[in-house]
Structure 1
């Protein structure tokens, strides 16, 4: 008898990725695919013991070269999408930063967010010949669709009850304010200044782009540090909720909040219910600007340190889908109109065309369904990928276990370490919590009644029927 390939779905940032990837897991399980979903790090630790299947990668940076090679040696195939493709730098920088020809050679199928993403990838000079690229949309786009917004209704109600009328500020300054020093653009000094040593976020960037981006992001972060207390002073009847990026060091925001009365710093749960519960969201070139637009929530891009190259050529999509304010007075005026109900979500035909160009599957069949269609069409529901030779498998097994051992030792080294970073981005979650999420999806879509959840190991879950 043949067995379907196991769909292996790693999750790096739980608050950002889990809900959408869980929806994909349910669709896959309902259509006969066993699924293993959970912490990306722990999936890598157990790669050699997982059933042979298809691993869903979220990026193709050269940092993944060794893991991709190990996965292929173990007999797994790799399918991928580009998590950061909606907000990306100019093409030449994007290619060197986010794509590796070595890594991409190990990918069997590539799923893109929309037409813009498709064209960007097709123009990659080192694109492997005959790599299938599928315009399916992304499960994170599914979560934004009207029929699924009620998935967050209880959270939205609770947030409104807890915080009343609030303005959400989303920050994305990991490049200059990293949770651990090694993930920023440059390894910072103890006082937060840059060194010449490149961090994980800057690998693949040209010196000129990285230097310019660091100084620009640093200036924007300083403008937001001034913005937060200024908003509290100017708008005494609303709460200011600051939501730092999951990979940021939150301490600077807690220090600001300690000097204020109505500023809260919270990084909890998916951003979607926070957007839906807020009066408006303020950002600077953050993907949440697109998410707010898709949800019908007014968003303001604060551009007090405007640089056309970085703010439009790099982060132009969420900025162009938002109201744009170039100083505090402009922002305060726009925010006042929104709070008084005089102004809703930024609209217009140009914005509609823009989001349609970037984001597929906003209507009709879910992106999740379209992705599983591709897997079925290529026979993954009928059989596992071909087994590696014994010698290749044993080499992959040895490398996998060696890498896991070294990574776990590295995670536990003294000081700011990867274990704390992992637990920050993927806190413990129970089977009951996963089941509750699936039940909510099932109620909204009238499906998934046969889907079951079992704990496979710490941080890993099996989804099946």
Structure 2
């Protein structure tokens, strides 16, 4: 390992993940490491070209197992900071989904968000205890000092009612139909029966949510409303709401950014309800069309529950007039409990914990790689894909993909790109909020030879 250890951070969804990973990259850089942000769809080219000591992947699922195997065969350590750290119905289901990939022996470090996931992973033997760390998730560091000061101002003046939707399976932005989403759910570990029920219930919930959003905006016509779809939803489907004079549909920015400027949050089964409680914004849940397949227990239990349209309108009215009663002791206690269970702590230090776990894993990795993982080969398909990348290089591979690939695949890629301008804007806000007075910039890594490198990955460097 070089004097300056090098870690690649895989960025899945920039809209959701980029700010937290930029903060993590900065924490690593302040501790003497080289940190490179790698777009998820470019990792097959860029990680081999960059030759890091460690790659921190966004998850371990069937669709990236061959890539992980190729990293291990090249002598690269593999860590996981799962972007869906509270995925599944509960912690045990999530631990079972990860274990069900059959590939967790490939991992040298697994960072879970909270104590519930940590305990579930141990109960189910998902990964060995010695590589499991409860760290929290860096993107939630922006809920606490000093990083809350680094949240950007929303593009709409504060004081709006925020409606967050969560229907990527029935209103998909990237895939062609819900049948594609059904297949993706099955591949992720859900049964086909559950996937079909989830999608059927989701269609009804989407219809009710859109109708209720329109009703609220019409009823409170002098109040601004912002509807923020899930990052993987089709924005255009909310046109009937956006046509109202006091309504906006906005998919840019992070959920924390938009919650921070809201007076209330209206949702159904959206984990941003928990984020709202972190930022002292009251979440209101539309329960009258909820179902067992759709219900996310934590999101429901942290919220004030409306069991009909009239009850929701009354709760919104009370919230706008500052007359909401103090939440029940049951809700208050659960909110406190859920932070520890799912997010570890709201102390602004998750990025520190992850960076220290990464650095200690790299230091230990100088001695040895985990032998069970190092001996496993990618599938024949994975070997063929890797050979094609090496032979064609990035430019030719990209041209062939655009010529013969699907429009859906190109839409997915387009939705997951980020540039140096965006990353440096985030860095400037983080630098300004930091007490260390150090300044960093993101640049394309220098001296990367060969045709494999995409040019899209960005490495942090300190500026004097």
Same fold (TM over 0.5): yes
Q: CA RMSD in A?
A: 3.2
- 2:217–2:247 contact (8 Å) kept in structure 1: yes
- 1:93–1:205 contact (8 Å) kept in structure 2: no
| Displacement of 1:214 | 1.3
Matched, 1:447 2:441: no
SS in 2 for 1:143: helix
Between the aligned partners of 2:91 and 2:282, the Cα distance in structure 1 is 29
**1:65-104 residue pairs with structure 2 within 5 A?**
65-90=65-90, 93-95=93-95, 97-104=97-104
SS in 2 for 1:296: coil
Aligned to 2:219: 234
**1:299-338 residue pairs with structure 2 within 5 A?**
299-308=283-292, 310-311=294-295, 315-338=296-319
Aligned to 2:457: 460
**1:297-376 residue pairs with structure 2 within 5 A?**
297-308=281-292, 310-311=294-295, 315-343=296-324, 346=327, 348-363=332-347, 366-376=349-359
Aligned length: 441
Aligned to 1:281: 265
Between the aligned partners of 1:78 and 1:413, the Cα distance in structure 2 is 32
Aligned to 1:193: none
Between the aligned partners of 1:135 and 1:239, the Cα distance in structure 2 is 39
Provide TM-score, normalisation by structure 2: 0.85
| Displacement of 1:420 | 2.3
**1:421-436 residue pairs with structure 2 within 5 A?**
421-426=412-417, 428-430=418-420, 432-436=421-425
Between the aligned partners of 1:341 and 1:408, the Cα distance in structure 2 is 57
Seen in structure 2, the aligned counterparts of structure 1 residues 406 and 65 have a Cα distance that, compared at 3 Å, is farther
Give the counterpart of 2:156 among 151, 156, 159.
159
**1:198-213 residue pairs with structure 2 within 5 A?**
198-203=182-187, 204-213=189-198
Aligned to 2:451: none
Mark the runs of 5 or more structure 1 residues left unpaired by the alignment. 189-197
Aligned to 2:207: 222
Between the aligned partners of 2:289 and 2:11, the Cα distance in structure 1 is 34
Between the aligned partners of 1:26 and 1:108, the Cα distance in structure 2 is 22
Seen in structure 2, the aligned counterparts of structure 1 residues 460 and 401 have a Cα distance that, compared at 3 Å, is farther
Aligned to 1:254: 239
Between the aligned partners of 2:108 and 2:439, the Cα distance in structure 1 is 30
Between the aligned partners of 1:401 and 1:19, the Cα distance in structure 2 is 33
Between the aligned partners of 1:120 and 1:242, the Cα distance in structure 2 is 34
- 1:303–1:327 contact (8 Å) kept in structure 2: yes
